[in-house]
Structure formats: structure tokens, C-alpha cells
Amino acid sequence: MKIFLTLLAAITPWSASTLVSVHAQCAICPTSMGGARFYDGCTQNGVTSCWYYQARNGAPQYRNCQFDTDGIILVMRGFDPSCPDSVQTGSNCPSCP
């Protein structure tokens, strides 16, 4: 009985972490977009925001793309047409501050 309880105690946290990581899916921001380089990104409530930086005529220009948990672009007000229609997904989902 002691061996069973020890084995159960060892497996339980592993199973819980496996279930969490399986469901924690988000869009992965591409390293560049329309000539702009990746600046920052985060995920909140299933929406991943990706910010890109590009200098134009000496002035900084920031662009933003937003994706759902399946990596599909969310077309919203202020949408940048240079954003890709879809991106890869993964489990490395930094939270927005």
C-alpha cells in the first residue's frame, strides 16, 4: 500500500502539469512582419498581441497584429494589412502586464 501511495503522489503533479501545458496554447509571434522586426508580444484572454518596430524616414513606427489561440489573425479596428493571416502556435505564452 505504501508503494502505491508513493507512486500516486509522484504521478499526480506530473499529470496536472501535463494537462495545463496541453491547454495553454497561443499564437507564436513571427520574428518579422512586412519589413518590420519583432519588438514584443504577450497573451491575454486567449489573444496574442505582437508588436513590430521599423524606422521610416528616421522616425520609429510600431505595428501590431493580434491572433487567436489557433494562430488566426483577428481583424479589428487598427488592423495592419501586413499581418499574416495565420501563424504557428505553441505553449510559450508570456502574459500581458
- Report residue 24's pLDDT band, with 50, 70 and 90 as the boundaries: low
Answer whether residue 35 is part of any domain.
yes
> Domain tally for the chain?
1
| 97 within a domain of the structure (yes/no) | no
Q: What is the pLDDT of residue 23?
A: 56
Question: How does pLDDT run across 26-81, given as a tens digit for each residue?
Answer: 999 999 998 899 999 999 999 999 999 999 888 889 999 999 999 999 987 777 88
Q: Is residue 59 part of a domain?
A: yes
d(CA 64, CA 52): 6
Place of cell 502574459: 95
Give the domain extent around 81: 26-90
